[in-house]
């Protein structure tokens, strides 16, 4: 028997016209379509003018552990399994990761049908740096957990991307302003690719005030990374002296701290010598 395949397929995040021809074909040809929401998948298929011929089953966060082995067995028996989430790419803040792990462990082929992504769409339109970025998903719901998680990201140098629900947006932006600074540049991207698409760019404090009036729709937040902190010689002289006192010798201690900080060895040595004098 020819082995089957599990295909993770990206679906439009708003505009159905963004669906590639390969998605239309895959929906018609799949033996099994595992959808996060079967009703939304049927509605999408209707808008695309395609008919789902295979078995349509629910595959969501609450049944992923049970469904994953079932789908892998079907692929082992030769089935073409198509996995779709409500919008965007399965496994990116949506079900799919566990299935890929089970399939990989079983030696079942997994492939990807690329397409729309709210993460990359928001990053591209944000106006913030795109050379290095990280995706943080949804922030914690409980205020204390959220504040701690954001505090841990305060010095993250990469552009950060978050998902958030509209009714928690104002509170999350206010917590981000506290953790990252009210002036940290950010963008709130709302209803991307849809009729009422909106991108609001400002400092986090101003965005929190704006969101206080109420915001609707699917939300993606993009936040600039922390600016680099320039090392100063005077801030590291004490460490040079401490290392020197422990037996390293002043020149060797200056060389060690220079390697740690990127500061000049000569400048550190001279500053330590002056402090010692």
Domain ranges of the chain: 5-116, 119-223, 233-276
pTM over 0.75: yes
Q: DSSP class of residue 247?
A: I
- Intrachain domains 5-116 and 119-223 with the same fold: no
160-209 residue pLDDT tens:
999 999 999 999 999 999 999 999 999 999 999 999 999 999 999 999 99
CATH architecture under which domain 119-223 falls: 2-Layer Sandwich (3.30)
Residue 102: CB atoms within 10 A of its CB come to 21
7 φ, ψ to 5°? -115, 115
Distances (CA, A) of 181 to 133, 178, 206, 230, 272: 19, 6, 11, 18, 34
Query: For residue 275, is pLDDT > 60?
Result: yes
Higher pLDDT, 248 or 28: 28
Bridge partner list, 88: 11
29-42 residue pLDDT tens:
999 999 999 999 99
Q: How confident is the model over 265-276, as a mean pLDDT?
A: 87
CA distance 196 to 9: 25
The whole-number pLDDT of residue 1 equals 47
The whole-number pLDDT of residue 234 equals 86
103-131 residue pLDDT tens:
999 999 999 999 999 999 999 999 999 99
Say which residues have a Cβ less than 8 Å from residue 131's Cβ, sequence separation at least 6. none
- ∠ CA 156-161-162, rounded to 5°: 110
Q: Which CATH superfamily is domain 5-116 in?
A: Tetrapyrrole methylase, N-terminal domain (3.40.1010.10)
Q: How confident is the model over 240-258, as a mean pLDDT?
A: 88
Q: How confident is the model over 215-231, as a mean pLDDT?
A: 91
The whole-number pLDDT of residue 232 equals 85
Q: Are the C-beta atoms of residues 34 and 102 closer than 8 Å to each other?
A: no
Compute the radius of gyration of the chain from its Cα atoms.
25
Q: Which residues of 217-227 are buried (b: 16+ CB within 10 A; e: fewer)?
A: ebbbbbbbbbe
The whole-number pLDDT of residue 165 equals 95
The whole-number pLDDT of residue 2 equals 62
Q: How confident is the model over 228-242, as a mean pLDDT?
A: 85
């Amino acid at each position: 028997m020819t082995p089957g395949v599990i295909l993770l397929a990206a679906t439009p995040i708003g505009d159905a016209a963004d669906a590639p021809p390969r998605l239309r074909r895959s929906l018609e040809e799949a033996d099994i379509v595992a959808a996060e929401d079967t009703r939304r998948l049927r509605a999408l298929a209707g808008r695309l003018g395609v008919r789902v011929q295979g078995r349509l089953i629910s595959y969501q966060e609450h049944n992923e552990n049970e469904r994953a082995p079932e789908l892998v067995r079907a692929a082992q028996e030769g089935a073409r399994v198509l996995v779709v989430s409500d919008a965007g790419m399965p496994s990116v803040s949506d079900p799919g990761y566990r299935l890929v792990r089970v399939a990989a462990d079983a030696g079942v082929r997994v492939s990807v049908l690329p397409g729309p992504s709210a993460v990359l769409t928001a990053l591209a339109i944000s106006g913030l740096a795109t050379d290095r970025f990280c995706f943080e998903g949804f922030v914690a719901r409980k205020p204390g957990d959220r504040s701690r998680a954001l505090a841990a990201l305060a010095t993250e140098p990469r552009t950060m991307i978050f998902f958030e629900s509209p009714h928690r947006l104002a509170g999350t932006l206010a917590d981000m302003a506290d953790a990252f600074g009210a002036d940290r540049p950010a963008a709130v991207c709302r209803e991307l690719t849809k009729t009422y698409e909106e991108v609001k760019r400002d400092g986090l404090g101003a965005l929190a005030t704006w969101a206080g009036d109420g915001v609707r729709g699917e939300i993606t937040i993009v936040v600039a990374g922390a600016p680099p902190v320039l090392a100063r010689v005077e801030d590291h002289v004490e460490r040079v002296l401490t290392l020197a006192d422990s037996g390293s010798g002043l020149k060797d201690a200056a060389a060690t701290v220079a390697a740690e900080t990127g500061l000049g060895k000569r400048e550190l040595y001279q500053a330590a010598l002056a402090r010692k004098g």
